[in-house]
Structure 1
């Protein structure tokens, strides 16, 4: 009998361990199910709340502002009210409080900030304030060994269920290593939808374009006009420009598109960080732009590109047609893989009509590209579903909302045409590609018309840099 008991003992222990694992598995599953039901109930309850914009006169014009001690060179740019609750880690829905959304704030701070916690000071229209511990606060990707980085901070917003709903008007950041951030906080206005009825509405199935920082006293007016008109032919309806430095001629073009209602133009005054922040803070700029396109203007799509890049569909008439046919609704971003055209190659002006004033359009005169298609996320660019994005990078989506995933566009379906001034590898095999010329006749006319509107004093000539 002792032998049988001794023989059974390890098996009994093994069975007990399996029972324990099953219990843990069921407990975790139950908690996940509870959490899922809580979030579903929250979403339904949230839609029945009355959201009123606290500052209807805010014009959505941001600029970089110093946080606390000026010598530290910490800066804050913008803040957005994000109604998505599925990106918040801990939500509330009880008799006392309900989670109504979160604030997403973009700042420039040291890549290795000594503080363990960052808080948001939210200010209401009656100048009362509330301090909220940030749920997320950290440097975004693509620091590239610089001492400063673009930061993304998220503070959840909970409202009392016993009092009327109040939305904050402004927000500031505070943390212990910068004492003045608490003693003398720097507030920025919180951006809400221009039309609050769009808060839970379907996004407009239109394409906006987020353009990389215009810097180094950029002066290539013809390229700028061609860029805008090419994307308009592809279905884009709005552009967001952020300028650091630009020539007077470029400013005239930007002001023209702004007057026409086709563009928003923002000062990107990061001069203090041009040497210690990656590419003039392009990551902060692209994230600000995507949130602006989604939250403020309700655009479904945002193409995140530089002035020398054109997303080119190969089997569809335009980007708009491609998205209309291929977007099934759960794609965070469509990744277009990169090929290079070299600006210093000889110009082929065969298809330029005789009457055209501005003949040297780069998409029409540069027809040799690299045969090699670079891998996804290597100099690729993305057109995103703006409402799916949590963190955007220069070449890829780093984080999207639950349920969304990237789609890498097959190189036979679409490519990123990258028109570089200099070749990266001048020995790469080149092929002739006339794809962009299918837009030629309309593009030449549109460029000439715009140049004539802006530079009547030059008889419609857009000078090349």
Structure 2
């Protein structure tokens, strides 16, 4: 279809191609309409899934145990790892670079059904409406509005929702196009994903801002994935603007294992100058919408941030300990600065004698990978307040808009649980946030909470690195930190 649209826009045969394009669009809608048998089959599957949920206990930590490592995942290989139709950024033709769209979702979680489009929009620019292509082979033009997502720093562009209002009597929408200057932008039309027609895939997804600047710290990504698996995660949703070859190898391995979804992210505007950090809030909100109806929880974190329980074995037990579910669970941030000395307790645990576990996993100690949660145990004594640099878990179906440090809009009443610092913290491993070394002068203390998972973490990390990098049998050394200035 896209080839035809490009020809339409550029070819001298435009009058002929207009007719061909409309014919193909009509055929596409007809062929995407499920036959009666398929529709009833989907209905039965959805009903069966709902019945199973009713029959099973409310404690989802019991219902979905933390998955065993690696080879014991046969069921994961059958997952649709795109979690929906393939996506990437499209400029809305005719908008003069005012609108870019990524994915569209049929969202009926509130009182009114809407199509919620993940978009990048020029500030203070309104849409004319939406053209919606229905399952009954009809087309409806509906009203729409643009809702910028918070935390956009007043830059020229913002991550936004374009919200298309659907009439109560509407048929199921299949595709949607933005209306520009009274014309539907059909070249950038999107398939509509139905949030209601899904099955639970597991306990917890992990949402991460887009990879950029050719990020290539492979061993830290392995550590991140394996630690969160120990904490109860069973799916990771990543967005790729640019990454290095070592990171590609790691993600290729985890994709084969059925754990990682990697979506393209060809950002159409300039990061930090025209839009906040890689369009981060478009990615996080897209990830939340892809998780609705598939995962009970989603973690909103970066790859150097770990939500660490201090009294429970994993995050699922922590959440369950609070009884009736909240929409969001907010963890206070605390910095573990990378310029502080490494903890020698790792040596004592893994290389204390010739029979130490480290020798069997990595060989000589110089081959032991530099794991943040193992070696960096000195932190600031005082965590930030809730809402300041916090990271958090959400129940995706209960949250409309997520931000960097908290959820901004909820379905119904906002039920938020600020996790006490003695129950859980967000460990943030980084250099001084304002450059230099002055951050190291603040009151600090040793915190080895993460060492509760040290042995299973290094065991899993060694195995994952061996499988991802078969030539050398281990993960390559991480690049240097670079200048603190």
Q: Shorter chain as normaliser: what TM range?
A: 0.7 to 0.9
RMSD: 2.5
Q: 1:290 pairs with 279, 288, 291, which one?
A: 288
Structure 1 pair 444–435 and aligned structure 2 pair: CA distance change class (3 A): same
Gaps of 5+ in 1: 1-48, 89-100
TM norm structure 2:
0.74
Structure whose alpha-carbon radius of gyration is higher: 1
Q: 2:303 pairs with 300, 307, 320, which one?
A: 307
For 1:58 and 1:232, how far apart are their aligned partners in 2? 19
SS of residue paired to 1:149? strand
TM norm structure 1:
0.77
SS of residue paired to 1:415? strand
Structure 1 pair 288–327 and aligned structure 2 pair: CA distance change class (3 A): farther
Cα deviation, residue 247, structure 1: 0.3
Alignment coverage as a number of residue pairs = 384
SS of residue paired to 1:315? coil
Cα deviation, residue 196, structure 1: 2.9
**Residue matched to 2:335:** 340
Q: 1:65 pairs with 70, 90, 93, which one?
A: 90
**Residue matched to 1:28:** none
Trace 1:4-403 onto structure 2 (pairs within 5 A).
59-69=84-94, 71-72=96-97, 74-86=99-111, 88=112, 101-113=113-125, 115=126, 118-125=128-135, 128-134=138-144, 136-160=145-169, 166-176=171-181, 182=184, 184=186, 186-192=188-194, 196=197, 198=199, 206-274=203-271, 275-295=273-293, 298-329=294-325, 331-352=326-347, 353=350, 354-355=358-359, 356-357=361-362, 358-403=368-413
For 1:256 and 1:276, how far apart are their aligned partners in 2? 34
**Residue matched to 2:77:** none
Structure 1 pair 262–412 and aligned structure 2 pair: CA distance change class (3 A): same
For 1:398 and 1:58, how far apart are their aligned partners in 2? 24
**Residues 51 and 196 of structure 1 are in contact (CA less than 8 Å); yes or no, is this contact kept in structure 2?**
no
SS of residue paired to 2:213? coil
Cα deviation, residue 155, structure 1: 2.3
Gaps of 5+ in 2: 1-38, 44-79, 351-357, 363-367, 480-485
**Residues 314 and 412 of structure 1 are in contact (CA less than 8 Å); yes or no, is this contact kept in structure 2?**
yes
Cα deviation, residue 254, structure 1: 0.9
**Residues 174 and 185 of structure 1 are in contact (CA less than 8 Å); yes or no, is this contact kept in structure 2?**
no
Cα deviation, residue 61, structure 1: 1.6
Cα deviation, residue 317, structure 1: 1.1
SS of residue paired to 1:72? coil
**Residues 92 and 185 of structure 2 are in contact (CA less than 8 Å); yes or no, is this contact kept in structure 1?**
no
SS of residue paired to 2:255? helix
Relative to structure 2, which stretch is displaced further, 410-419 or 345-354? 345-354
Structure 1 pair 440–63 and aligned structure 2 pair: CA distance change class (3 A): same
